[in-house]
């Protein structure tokens, strides 16, 4: 792969005065403070193919419109008088690298170029948060690679940026008119959060967190006795059966598959810790208002989900849990430093040290599903679910790096024809119960929920609780791999 000389794309647009960071930006700003100097893990990269026959100047024009449209792509971030601040640049230049592809597979060349482009930490006070390169074949552009700092975009935002870039590349002449109406920008969002309406929303969120924190057991909130340097247990599951089961459960409960999944994850965790409740921190995309649906910026915030597990049928539990999950999503918008101070204050009052949580992060992008194949189950089609079980792949991942501040970090990565989950687990949390055990048991619980919705929670507790959970328990440990699973050491990457 050869590299011709890079070129510059000049942009010019609006430049509002400096503002404090919006809440979602501030949350990620504080994450950056944890990272070692020079860490480039916040640099996210993606690529899009270029339509055949597109000229390089058309690609440059598309990149210019893209940066002028989204303020987050031309913003610098710095501290001013001790306060994290953002400044939108009204004009500047984006350096665009050009590389000639030499391999037979475009995707391989694009991924390799993206991997090189993302290297090196972003200096948010001096650098643009976006990097770009064009891959050519015979001097004709065939792919555009973007690297964007996580401080400028979350995963959902990146999807919006790529959507806009594809539209601009397809347009006869790239312009703002080819795109939907522009969403609220981060500086506008920051000003909203300082308004009376924004402060009312924050107060409601803090009140929700306070009620839940005072009621929740410390088990899923207190600091782990194991240092993060000691490593973590990683696993992944790729399960068409879970995807089928979740769609059926969601249809029955009148909710989304993701909501059904977190509700049943909470139930399994309650069983494993031997309590009648579970507390999970939800990473919420926060795009509730119409003006924020296409918001591009670091926008994720944490919702606090406190699930109570009462005796009764599994279906009754799921229907009750749905409302609890939705309430946690609605009450996530607040200054993250105020939220963390509230957590610390209430933990101190109750006599425990916080800072190790169970996180649930859905990055499966519900609006971007693959087309249905006609082979999916109808809601409640238990035969299709059990028939799909042999296709499950359950794997331990060869990594031990921590997710800071977590005893469990659950990432839903795909939910279409299959359900793809990655799990990071602190071994001190559930003892000998490994990440592969938890994912395998979660699949079993989902299968139980769709095949026998009248099953009693008490009976399931006996099946999924630890074998040594007490003299009155007839628990059976289901921690061996499923017979039809392929459990192996994966070559997966971070």
Instruction: Read off the pLDDT of residues 417-471 as tens digits, 9 standing for 90 and up.
Output: 999 999 999 999 999 999 999 999 999 999 999 999 899 999 999 999 997 655 3
3-state SS track over the chain: CECCCCEEEEEECCCCCCEECCHHHHHHHHHHHHCCCCCCCCEEEEEEECCCCCCHHHHHHHHHHHHHHCHHHHEEEEEECCEEEEEECCEEEEEEEEEECCCCCHHHHHHHHHHHHCCCCCCCCCCCCEEEEEEEECCEEEEEEEEEECCCCCHHHHHHHHHHHHHHHHCCCCCHHHCCCCCCCHHHHHHHHCCHHHHHHHHHHHHHHHHHHHHCCHHHCECCCCCHHHCCEEEEEEEHHHHHHHHHHHHHHCCCHHHHHHHHHHHHHHHHHCCCEEEEEEEECCCCCHHHCCCCCCCCEEEEEEEECCCCEHHHHHHHHHHHHHHHHHCCCCCHHHHHHHHHHHHHHHCCCECCEEEEEECCCHHHCCCCCCCCCCCCCHHHHHHHHHHCEEEECCCCCCCCCEEEEEEEEEECCCEEEEEEECHHHHCCCCHHHHHHHHHHHHHHHHHCCCCEHHHHHHHHCCCCCCCCCCCCCCCCCCCCCEEEECCCCC
Residues facing residue 86 across a β-bridge: 19, 77
Phi, psi values for residue 472, rounded to 5°: -90, 0
pLDDT of residue 6: 81
Residue 91 has pLDDT above 90, yes or no: yes
Q: In b/e form, how buried is each residue of 242-277, taking b as 16+ CB within 10 angstroms?
A: bbbbbbbbbebbebbbbbbbbbbbbbbbbbbbebeb
* Token pair belonging to 76: 């610098």
- CA 112 to chain CA centroid, Å, is 24
Instruction: Give the C-alpha separation, 157 to 164, whole Å.
Output: 11
245's CB contacts (< 8 A; 6+ apart) are 385, 446, 447, 449, 450
Residue 487 has pLDDT above 60, yes or no: no
Identify whether the C-beta of residue 356 lies closer than 8 Å to the C-beta of residue 426. yes
Residues facing residue 222 across a β-bridge: 354
Residue 207 has pLDDT above 50, yes or no: yes
Residue 3 has pLDDT above 90, yes or no: no
pLDDT of residue 1: 55
Each residue of 368-409: pLDDT tens digit? 333 344 444 454 578 999 999 999 999 999 987 777 889 999
Residue 478 has pLDDT above 60, yes or no: no
Residue 7 has pLDDT above 80, yes or no: yes
Residue 493 has pLDDT above 50, yes or no: no
Instruction: Give the C-alpha separation, 299 to 153, whole Å.
Output: 8
* Token pair belonging to 233: 């247990």
pLDDT of residue 355: 87
Instruction: Give the C-alpha separation, 87 to 492, whole Å.
Output: 38
pLDDT of residue 365: 64
Sheet with strand 393-396: strands edge to edge:
301-308, 277-284, 357-362, 406-415, 419-425, 233-239, 393-396, 486-489
Instruction: Give the C-alpha separation, 410 to 234, whole Å.
Output: 10
pLDDT of residue 226: 77
pTM across the whole model: 0.87
Instruction: Give the C-alpha separation, 20 to 83, whole Å.
Output: 7
Identify whether the C-beta of residue 240 lies closer than 8 Å to the C-beta of residue 394. no
123's CB contacts (< 8 A; 6+ apart) are none
Other Cβ atoms within 10 Å of 290 Cβ, number: 9
pLDDT of residue 404: 80
Q: Which domains does the chain have, with CATH numbers?
A: 7-186 (3.30.559.10), 195-489 (3.30.559.30)
- As a whole number of Å, the CA-based R_g of the chain is 24
Percent of the chain with pLDDT over 70: 90
Confidence band of 364 (pLDDT split at 50, 70, 90): confident
Instruction: Give the C-alpha separation, 302 to 304, whole Å.
Output: 7
Each residue of 211-239: pLDDT tens digit? 999 999 999 999 988 776 678 899 999 99
Give whichever of 197-211, 217-231, 248-262 has the largest mean pLDDT.
Answer: 197-211
pLDDT of residue 468: 67
Instruction: Give the C-alpha separation, 317 to 314, whole Å.
Output: 5
Give whichever of 210-214, 249-253, 450-454, 471-475 has the largest mean pLDDT.
Answer: 210-214
Burial (CB < 10 A; 0-12, 13-18, 19+), residue 308, is middle
Each residue of 335-356: pLDDT tens digit? 999 999 999 999 999 999 998 9
pLDDT of residue 228: 66
Identify whether the C-beta of residue 152 lies closer than 8 Å to the C-beta of residue 72. yes
Phi, psi values for residue 58, rounded to 5°: -70, -40
Other Cβ atoms within 10 Å of 215 Cβ, number: 11
Each residue of 301-328: pLDDT tens digit? 999 999 999 999 999 999 999 999 999 9
pLDDT of residue 168: 98
Region 206-212: mean pLDDT is: 98
146 compared with 288, residue with greater pLDDT:
146
């Amino acid at each position: 792969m050869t590299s011709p000389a890079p070129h510059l794309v000049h942009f010019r647009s609006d430049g509002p005065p400096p503002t404090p960071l919006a809440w979602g930006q501030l949350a990620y700003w504080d994450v950056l403070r944890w990272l070692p100097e020079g860490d480039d893990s916040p640099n996210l990269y993606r690529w899009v193919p270029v339509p055949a026959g597109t000229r390089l100047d058309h690609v440059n024009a598309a990149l210019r419109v893209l940066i002028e449209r989204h303020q987050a792509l031309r913003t610098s971030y710095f501290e001013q008088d001790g306060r994290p601040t953002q400044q939108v640049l009204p004009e500047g230049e984006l350096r665009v690298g050009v590389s000639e592809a030499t391999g037979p597979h475009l995707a391989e060349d694009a991924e390799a170029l993206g991997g090189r482009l993302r290297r090196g930490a972003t200096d948010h006070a001096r650098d643009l948060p976006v990097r770009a390169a064009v891959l050519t074949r015979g001097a004709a552009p065939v792919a555009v690679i973007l690297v964007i700092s996580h401080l400028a975009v979350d995963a959902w935002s990146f999807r919006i940026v790529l959507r806009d870039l594809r539209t601009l590349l397809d347009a006869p002449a790239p312009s703002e008119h080819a795109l939907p109406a522009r969403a609220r920008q981060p500086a506008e969002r920051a000003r909203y959060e300082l308004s009376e309406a924004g402060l009312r929303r924050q107060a409601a969120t803090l009140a929700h967190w306070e009620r839940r924190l005072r009621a929740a057991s410390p088990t899923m909130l207190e600091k782990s006795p194991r240092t993060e340097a000691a490593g973590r247990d990683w696993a992944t599951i790729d399960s068409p059966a879970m995807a089928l089961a979740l769609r059926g459960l969601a249809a029955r409960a009148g909710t989304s598959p993701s909501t059904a999944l977190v509700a049943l994850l909470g139930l399994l965790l309650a069983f494993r810790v031997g309590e009648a409740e579970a507390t999970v921190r939800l990473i919420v995309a926060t795009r509730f208002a119409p003006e924020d649906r296409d918001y591009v910026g670091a926008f994720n915030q944490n919702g606090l989900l406190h699930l109570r597990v009462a005796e009764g049928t599994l279906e009754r539990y799921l229907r009750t849990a749905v409302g609890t999950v939705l309430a946690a999503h609605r009450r996530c918008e607040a200054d993250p430093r105020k939220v963390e101070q509230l957590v610390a204050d209430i933990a101190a009052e109750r006599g425990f040290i916080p800072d190790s949580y169970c996180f649930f992060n859905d990055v499966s992008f519900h609006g971007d599903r693959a087309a249905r194949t006609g082979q999916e189950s109808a809601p409640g089609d238990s035969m299709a679910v059990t028939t799909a079980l042999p296709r499950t792949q359950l794997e331990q991942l060869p990594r031990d790096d921590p997710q800071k501040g977590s005893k469990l970090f659950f990432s839903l990565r795909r939910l279409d024809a299959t359900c793809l989950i990655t799990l990071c687990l602190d071994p001190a949390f559930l003892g000998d119960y490994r990440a592969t055990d938890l994912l395998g048991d979660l699949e079993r619980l989902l299968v139980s929920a769709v095949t026998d919705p009248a099953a009693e929670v008490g009976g399931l507790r006996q099946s999924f609780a630890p074998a040594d959970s007490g003299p009155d328990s007839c628990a059976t440990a289901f921690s061996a791999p499923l017979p039809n699973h392929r459990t192996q050491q994966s070559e997966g990457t971070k």
